[in-house]
Amino acid sequence: MASTLAPVTEGGDRPAFSIERILGLELERPGNCLKLHRPWTEIAAEKENAGNSVCFKHHHHPQQMKSSRPTSNWYIGRRPRTAFTNRQVSVLETVFQVNCYPGIQLREQLAGRLDLDEDRIQIWFQNRRAKLRRSLRETRLQLVQSAVADLGVRHARGDQELTQRLASRLQLEVDEEEE
């Protein structure tokens, strides 16, 4: 409900994959849904091999593609990207500081308060945790790198004993953070 006005036009008012049509089908296609494991990457690869420079990645409306394969219209499209407002992000960030694994009740509260679906909240927290993990990993990496550099300096000074102590302690801390 938050500025996601569904720009997916889908070529007018005739949906290619309406449930009515699907449920009307006689279900005589046992070998239809056996293309598991992200089949659109395969389609994209085929199109690239065909010399067509227009990549599937940049078309999320496959029914608009002039493809020779009728099987490529199995994918209708993804949800339009939600554009959170500054206020929404601000509230979400504040809550994240306190609880980065909100349960269903808090998610529902947030959804009601921010006029978003509960699922958007869920996804936001998943992506936010991933971002935090990424930044923690980078910080840790930089710490190790600077420590190694420091190690090098001290080693050059001939401060052998301190070097060894620092190294073992560093290893310890890195291991702790692993699990």
Partner DNA sequence: TTTTAATCTAATTAT
Partner DNA sequence: ATAATTAGATTAAT
| Interface residue list for DNA (CB under 7 A) | 4, 7, 36-38, 40-41, 44, 56-58, 60, 78-84, 89, 101, 103-104, 120, 122-131, 133
**Rounded Cα gap, residues 111 and 93, in angstroms:** 14
C-alpha distances in Å from residue 3, one per residue of 20, 77, 121, 122, 127: 29, 18, 15, 18, 20
Do residues 64 and 11 make contact, with C-beta atoms less than 8 angstroms apart? Answer: yes
5 counts as binding its own copies under rule CB under 8 A: no
Question: 10: phi > 0 → left, psi -120 to 50 → alpha, else beta; which?
Answer: left
Min dist CB 148 to its own copies, Å, is 24
Q: For its own copies, which is the closer residue by CB, 74 or 170?
A: 74
159 phi and psi angles, rounded to 5 deg? -85, 75
85 counts as binding its own copies under rule CB under 8 A: no
Q: For its own copies, which is the closer residue by CB, 27 or 156?
A: 27
* Residue 23 site contact among DNA, its own copies, none (CB < 5 to 8 Å, cut-off depends on kind): its own copies
Instruction: Give the torsion through C-alpha atoms of 62, 64, 65, 66, to 10 deg.
Output: 140
* Residue 5 site contact among its own copies, DNA, none (CB < 5 to 8 Å, cut-off depends on kind): none
127 counts as binding its own copies under rule CB under 8 A: no
46 counts as binding its own copies under rule CB under 8 A: no
| Interaction site with its own copies (CB under 8 A) | 8, 10, 15, 17-19, 22-23, 25, 27, 29-30, 32-34, 36-37, 39, 74-80, 91, 94-106, 109-110, 113, 117-119, 122, 129, 132-133, 136
